[in-house]
Structure formats: C-alpha cells, structure tokens
Amino acid sequence: LLFASKLRLQRASQTALAETIIHVAKTAKDELSGKDANAGAVVVQDPESAEILAIASYPTYDLSRYKESAYYNEISSKKVSHLVNRATSGLYEPGSTFKVLTAFAALEENIIEKDTVIRDLGSYTKYAPSYSPRCWIYARHGYTHGNQTVITALQNSCNYYFFDIGDRLGIDKLNEYST
C-alpha cells in the first residue's frame, strides 16, 4: 500500500477500535456481553505477504502531549493504562480465534470430517471434577447449541465442540499445528 493509504488505514483502525470498545461497553447488558470492555487492540495484516498494514491499541495517548507532566500524570494514573500498547505488549489467550486452527488440524488429521456431528452438552466433563469447561451459551443462558458440525461450531463459536476435537487431537498435534 502507498503511504497515504496506510495512514488512512491506520487512522481508520484506531477510530474503529475506540468506537467499538465504547459502543460495546455502553450497550452491553452485563460483563459476559462486554459491559466491562475498556481496552483492546487491532492488527491488520496483508494475508498474502503477512506485512503489517496497521496496528492500534486502545486506550492510547497523544504523543505530542506526552512530555507535559500534567498530561503524563493524568494518563499514567488511569485505572486502565493508556501507556501499554496492547497489540505489541499485551499477553492474551488466543480465545475463539484458536478454534479455526483446531478445526483445520482436526480436518487435516482426519479426526473429523466436515459433516461429523458432536452434540454440545453444555459442560465438557471428561476431566471432571478437576476441570469441566463450559460452552459460552450454556454458561450464559443455560442451554446448548445441540448437534454441531465443524461449520456450525465455527458459526456458533461452540466451545464444547472444540474441547472435544481438541481432546481427540491431543496436545502434541495441537502444538504442532499452532507452531
């Protein structure tokens, strides 16, 4: 991309990130749906070259005012740090983005086929009682997604489905594919 295009994309990324976080926090009903949203990051990459086209972190600060001690004191005393670049310095679990990799690995390893059905039972109890993760819909609403294929499980972000196929794959294969 040309410099001017990258600059527009950078500004658009920063604006969209800030507006989205503010909107989610204002419109969410509870913490499970984002009421506590107060920070985030965006990284835009070219899917062919992997070139980073834009990178944004929220909340952020005005670099032109950074040397002003009053401004610095204001932003450094905030509950949510404005001084952390969440895109480059934040440590976050991959969350639902890992489901795509898990699906790909399970399909590649013939653990599942595109029409393999797994019934979401809400709570994945294979490792109970020490560990029984739950599907988000079961935790939030008390019901399940029911029968899921890999396509519907991705569409619904069905945790139960991916707990099951991740277990079938095993940690070594998940590690191999994620590496």
Q: Coil, helix or strand for 175?
A: helix
CA dist., res. 19 & res. 94, Å (int): 23
- 132 assigned to active site: no
Of residues 20, 22, 86, the one with CA closest to residue 55: 86
* Residue 54 · residue 13 · CB < 8 Å: yes
- For residue 70, CA distances in Å to 52, 66, 74, 75, 76 come to 34, 9, 6, 9, 10
Of residues 126, 137, 128, the one with CA closest to residue 163: 126
Length of the chain: 179
Q: Tell me which of 5, 89, 96, 178 is the catalytic residue.
A: 96
Give residue for tokens 């679990």.
93
CA dist., res. 67 & res. 43, Å (int): 27
Catalytically annotated residues: 96
